[in-house]
Amino acid sequence: MDFEPRATRKDITGAVSNPEFFNYGVEAYEACKKGALTSDIIDEQKKVQEADLVIFQFPLYWFSMPAILKGWMDRVLCQGFAFDIPGFYDSGFLKNKLALLSLTTGGTAEMYMKTGVSGDYRYFLWPLQHGALHFCGFKVLAPQISFAPEIASEEERKAMVASWAQRLKTIWEEEPIDCTPPWYFGQ
Amino acid sequence: MDFEPRATRKDITGAVSNPEFFNYGVEAYEACKKGALTSDIIDEQKKVQEADLVIFQFPLYWFSMPAILKGWMDRVLCQGFAFDIPGFYDSGFLKNKLALLSLTTGGTAEMYMKTGVSGDYRYFLWPLQHGALHFCGFKVLAPQISFAPEIASEEERKAMVASWAQRLKTIWEEEPIDCTPPWYFGQ
């Protein structure tokens, strides 16, 4: 899938509400309300609507998602679909859904400890889990992090996949994390 | 500028080193060393190389950069150009340069206080400033944040621009922030 990550004028089909001054957020919101978003966005929104749990699987690029997935967030989770003002965080439109970040890192687990050079891994989860997912109302399950598979042995890699498979068997029984600053920055 | 944000096989000109199993990071690193990256990446790398200060100006999308700019980070700041292993954080290849994030938000300053619904604005700066810029060696100047220009009055907007213009006059005299966890999460 070669998803378009750029949020542009092309995302709105037909006329925009203010052609003199293009404001992406405003125009996407208006287009969402009248069903005038471009089809690749609508297709993705339908998938989200049907899902009980959305799993984001990605390699960590610069402490975040690769741009193609960031663009999915930017374009698909627009105002009117995923949230409104008011209508965010616990009142976000996706509040009856679960979300989970499953990611692989380049750095080792030791680098992502509070005392490691890259700081606690929870620090970089804040914008993604709280700022984006929780903002849309998602209840966030604990992240699945596979540290440094590139430098792991074949056996270690198999163990990572096996533990993820094992977890998925009982994923519906899990309680979401408490998506507040203490989870990310507390002791 | 319609920059391509997706990190793909197309970024490597000519043969890849492992055609059986495409690993973007590995291939981009190899291509960087032998000058085989695609031209839009090389053009941007030249601009970075010539700059003493790189200012990233963007609207905050999901507590981060819009995907088009995230893709610039993903593709331009590759291993071999911006860092190596070892050769990151204080030893990153861009260590004699300054970087600054200048951003506009949708939410108000009150929302981005430690006690606000979106948490302290410094929280979301961690992945960008520490995880990306500092990793490449950049010394990071304090961010320039223009909160909620959309809902500000014309007068307030002019004041935001004026204070930014004023700051730029003496930007070369500024000391970088101490890009460590206490700056982001401390009291």
For B108-147, how does the pLDDT look when each residue is reduced to its tens digit (9 = 90+)?
999 999 999 999 999 999 999 999 999 999 999 999 999 9
One-letter identity of residue A158 = K
Tens digit of pLDDT per residue, chain B (187 long)? 899 999 999 999 999 999 999 999 999 999 999 999 999 999 999 999 999 999 999 999 999 999 999 999 999 999 999 999 999 999 999 999 999 999 999 999 999 999 999 999 999 999 999 999 999 999 999 999 999 999 999 999 999 999 999 999 999 999 999 999 999 998 6
Please, what's the b/e burial string for B143-153 (b: 16 or more CB within 10 A of its CB; e: otherwise)? bbbbbbeeeee
Domain assignment of residue A121, yes or no = yes
Nearest-Cα residue of chain A relative to residue B68? A6
- CATH code for position A57: 3.40.50.360
Domain assignment of residue B17, yes or no = no
Distance of residue B181 Cα from the nearest chain A Cα, in angstroms: 7
Domain assignment of residue B24, yes or no = no
Q: B6, A181: Cβ pair inside 8 Å?
A: no
Q: What is the pTM of this model?
A: 0.97
Confidence band for A1, pLDDT divided at 50, 70 and 90: confident
User: Could you give the ipTM of this predicted complex?
Assistant: 0.97
Domain tally, chain A = 1
The residues near B85 (Cβ < 8 Å, ≥ 6 apart) are: B79
Nearest-Cα residue of chain B relative to residue A68? B6
* A183 and chain B in contact, CB less than 8 A: no
Provide the 10 A C-beta neighbour count for residue A117.
14
Residue pair A133/A140 in contact (Cβ under 8 Å)? The answer is yes
Size of interface A-B (CB pairs under 8 A): 129
**Domain around B164:** 50-185
* B127 and chain A in contact, CB less than 8 A: yes
Domain assignment of residue B158, yes or no = yes
Domain assignment of residue A145, yes or no = yes
Domain assignment of residue A68, yes or no = yes
Domain assignment of residue B103, yes or no = yes
Domain assignment of residue B98, yes or no = yes
Angle (deg, nearest 10), helices A67-76 and A39-50: 80
Q: A63, B118: Cβ pair inside 8 Å?
A: no
Of A64, A67, A131, the CB nearest to B5: A67
Of B6, B77, B127, the CB nearest to A63: B127
Q: Give the span between the Cα atoms of A94 and B126, in whole angstroms.
A: 26
* A25 and chain B in contact, CB less than 8 A: yes
Nearest to B106 by CA among A131, A63, A21: A131
